[in-house]
């Protein structure tokens, strides 16, 4: 008994950490298959012992929400679904009832509320009880009606998703391999939970309804199908479903399985619900699961094979990713021979060594992964030199995850990826310098530093004679470089590739230092941390970058080739000098909170995330709200003002 209880505590800790990484931090520290296996083991032990510890993953619906988005308690708790991997068990669950079988979509669950025919609120699932308010972002979902003909109160649930096609397009625009999103779900979660709704709008998020919660006064003839048909008439896209009985359900499951490989919407299984609404409601619910629906997860096809070797792939930031290469096997109708292992921590968890017998599968029938290592010979032969440049490597532990890095600042992989970032759209935007072209130019010795890209005329004859080039291509490239040489300081800073410094961070740093590049180079970590949005990790990366003499030389050479657009420093209007603002809740007069923050900073003020005794004003359109920020402001005597009040304060209303 003691051993079982100890094992339960171990499993609870491991699963909770994995859930936190997946749901909150959008990173994976174990495969879905491994998570399900450990979860089922914990569930079985709880049943055997009759003991359930507080905080057990089997009793929690999700992970606690941690973000700056406003939070709100759901009127009706959002429960997880019980699940099975057995088609026969699904058939038995349905019994003599008629059911609806639909896709189990893999995105971010959202609850929508409509009042008087207009979208009034959108809240994420969160932990099932408390979610995040994302109303401005939901209004940018490409297929979502923000106004409907029905004027009663409507509450429905659905999945925010990004299709595989859009996912691939967005990833193609990211030059750094290690910065690319791992899967559509992570991208969707990050897109929907943005503080800037403009970013959500750019990512083509769709909403697909899967459940109607409330529509008072409507008669749906006791049928879930009728609910779906009614929602479609209002303009909502609903999850695709098929009607099934115990005689047809197995064929329906097989048809869904046949289609998933080419299905455009990410899916990790199916959902079976009773069509009879009253019957489903009469069954009630458990502490975690409703009894009117059940999830079906694909019983992943697995094949046993031999691990041939680990291939190590270098990236711009120096991260070297391990990829398992194994003897080819047939999985879900295709031949696979490679699977990403992501990092050394996962390798060590699998005790993965060359020659091991492993089982592999396709996660959600799509992405090849290692399910289990049968022989576990142990991790060995981690390269001491970079596979690209031969420079020394080192293992670094970040957020409890061990990864391999190349320490050579002149690594060719870093150069190609670094130059690709420099010429990308949000940086210098030199059209025509693709990664492939950069690779050719670097190999030919045309490019050693950033400023070489503005002197390609030195190599005209060689470039014109290159395969795929000609006089016209050369002229277009030279013209693009000339155009790019007139830029902005934030674009340049972003293009330098300082670890973690994106375009938004670069803008904040430039604004803080009034676009004084010399002051920015000499800044210490303490001063950088005083900038809203810049933490210790980013500040440390910045300071380290400018401590390198070589980096400063490269920048000096580059500056002689660039001219900068004049940037407003805010000196003309310092109305809010010395004032500190906190913004909370949704905004109405601005596109988003970032736009309001930018206006505050342009007039000399500062916007922070927490209410303290130093806060001058809390901006919240719901002045009577009982939110934690409102309560704190009242305790400290900080004035709470609306957007309109703020505009009056600065003389713009």
DSSP code at position 82: -
Single out the residue of 252, 139, 64 nearest to residue 587, CA to CA: 139
Residue holding tokens 């046993």? Answer: 304
Number of helices (H) and strands (E) in the chain: give both, helices first.
24, 24
The candidate with the shortest Cα–Cα distance to 619, out of 593, 637, 653, is 593
Residue owning tokens 């099975």: 84
Percent of the chain residues topping a pLDDT of 90: 30
Q: Which of 309, 293, 286, 362 is nearest to 331 (CA)?
A: 362
List the beta bridge partners of residue 154: 114, 215
Q: How far apart are the C-alpha atoms of 374 and 307, rounded to whole Å?
A: 11
User: What's residue 206's pLDDT?
Assistant: 92
Tokens 């049928």 -> residue: 223
User: Which run of H or E residues covers position 395?
Assistant: strand 393-398
Query: Alpha-carbon distance 240 to 230, whole Å?
Result: 14
DSSP state of 396: E
Compute the distance between CA of residue 649 and CA of residue 653 in angstroms, rounded to an integer: 8
DSSP bridge partners of 491: none
**What residue has token string 């697995």?**
302
Q: Which tens digits make up the pLDDT trace of 556-575?
A: 999 999 999 876 544 456 67
* Residue 174: per-residue pLDDT: 62
pTM: 0.49
104, 415, 507, 606: which one is catalytic? 104
Q: Give the model's pLDDT for residue 573.
A: 64
- pLDDT at res. 178: 47
The reported pLDDT for the residue numbered 122 is: 92
440 is catalytic: no
Other beta carbons less than 10 A from residue 609's beta carbon = 11
Q: Note the pLDDT of residue 65.
A: 43
Report the pLDDT value the prediction gives residue 204, as an integer from 0 to 100: 87
Consecutive 10-residue runs of the chain (653 residues): their mean pLDDT? 74 79 63 78 80 66 52 77 83 93 92 92 85 88 85 94 86 58 80 79 90 91 94 90 94 87 85 92 76 82 88 77 88 78 88 92 73 91 86 86 86 79 89 83 79 91 81 90 93 89 81 90 89 77 91 92 74 72 81 75 77 87 79 86 86 70
Question: What pLDDT score was predicted for residue 177?
Answer: 45
């Amino acid at each position: 008994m003691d051993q079982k209880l100890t094992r339960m505590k171990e499993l609870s800790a491991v699963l909770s950490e994995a859930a936190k990484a997946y749901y909150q931090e959008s990173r994976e520290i174990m495969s879905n298959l491994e998570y399900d296996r450990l979860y089922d083991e914990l569930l079985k032990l709880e049943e055997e012992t009759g003991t359930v510890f507080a905080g057990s993953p089997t009793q929690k619906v999700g992970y606690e929400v941690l973000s700056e988005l406003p939070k709100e308690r759901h009127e009706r708790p959002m429960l997880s679904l019980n699940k099975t991997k057995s088609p026969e068990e699904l058939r038995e669950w349905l019994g003599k009832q008629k059911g609806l079988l639909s896709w189990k979509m893999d995105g971010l669950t959202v609850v929508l509320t409509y009042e008087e025919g207009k979208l009034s609120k959108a809240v994420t699932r969160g932990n099932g009880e408390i979610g995040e308010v994302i109303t401005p972002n939901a209004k940018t979902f490409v297929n979502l009606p923000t106004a409907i003909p029905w004027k009663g109160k409507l509450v429905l649930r659905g999945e925010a998703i990004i299709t595989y096609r859009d996912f691939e397009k967005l990833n193609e625009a990211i030059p750094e391999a290690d910065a690319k999103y791992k899967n559509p779900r992570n991208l969707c979660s990050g897109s929907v939970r943005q503080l800037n709704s403009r970013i959500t709008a750019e990512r083509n998020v769709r909403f697909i309804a899967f459940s109607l919660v409330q529509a008072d006064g409507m008669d749906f003839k006791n049928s879930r199908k009728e609910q779906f048909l009614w929602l479609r008439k209002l303009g909502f896209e609903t999850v695709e479903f098929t009607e099934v009985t115990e005689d047809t359900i197995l064929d329906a499951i097989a048809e869904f399985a046949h289609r998933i490989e080419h299905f455009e919407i990410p899916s990790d299984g199916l959902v079976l619900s009773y069509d009879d609404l009253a019957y489903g409601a009469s069954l009630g619910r458990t502490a975690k699961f409703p009894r009117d629906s059940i999830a079906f997860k694909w019983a992943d096809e697995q094949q046993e094979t031999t691990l041939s070797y680990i291939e190590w792939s270098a990236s711009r930031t120096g991260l070297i990713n391990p990829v398992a290469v194994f003897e080819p096997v047939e999985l879900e109708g295709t031949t696979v021979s490679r699977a990403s292992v992501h990092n050394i921590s996962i390798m060590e968890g699998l005790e993965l060594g060359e020659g091991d017998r492993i089982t592999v599968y396709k996660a959600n029938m799509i992405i090849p992964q290692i399910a289990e290592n049968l022989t576990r010979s142990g991790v060995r032969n981690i390269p001491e030199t970079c596979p690209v440049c031969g420079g020394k490597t080192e293992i670094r532990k970040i957020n409890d995850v061990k990864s391999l890095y190349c320490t050579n600042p002149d690594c060719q992989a870093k150069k190609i990826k670094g130059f690709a970032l420099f010429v990308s759209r949000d940086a210098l935007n030199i059209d025509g310098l693709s990664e492939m072209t950069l690779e050719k130019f670097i190999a030919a010795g045309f490019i050693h530093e950033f400023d070489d890209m503005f002197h390609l005329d030195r190599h005209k004859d060689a470039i014109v004679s290159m395969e795929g080039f000609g006089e016209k291509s050369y002229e277009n490239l030279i013209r693009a470089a000339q155009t790019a040489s007139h830029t902005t300081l934030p674009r340049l800073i972003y293009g330098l590739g300082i670890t973690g410094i994106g375009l938004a961070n670069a803008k904040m740093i430039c604004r803080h230092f009034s676009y004084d590049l010399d002051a920015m180079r000499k800044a210490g970590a303490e001063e950088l941390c005083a900038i809203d949005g810049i933490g210790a990790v980013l500040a440390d990366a910045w300071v380290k970058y400018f401590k390198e003499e070589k980096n400063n030389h490269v920048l000096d050479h580059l500056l002689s080739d660039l001219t900068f657009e004049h940037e407003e420093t805010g000196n003309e209007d310092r109305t809010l000098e010395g004032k500190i603002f906190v913004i909370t809740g949704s905004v109405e007069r601005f596109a988003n909170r970032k736009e309001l923050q930018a206006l505050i900073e342009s007039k000399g003020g500062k916007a922070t995330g927490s209410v303290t005794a130093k806060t001058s004003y809390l901006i919240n359109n719901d002045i009577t709200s009982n939110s934690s920020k409102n309560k704190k402001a009242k305790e400290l005597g900080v004035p709470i003002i609306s957007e309109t009040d703020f505009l009056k304060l600065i003389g713009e209303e």
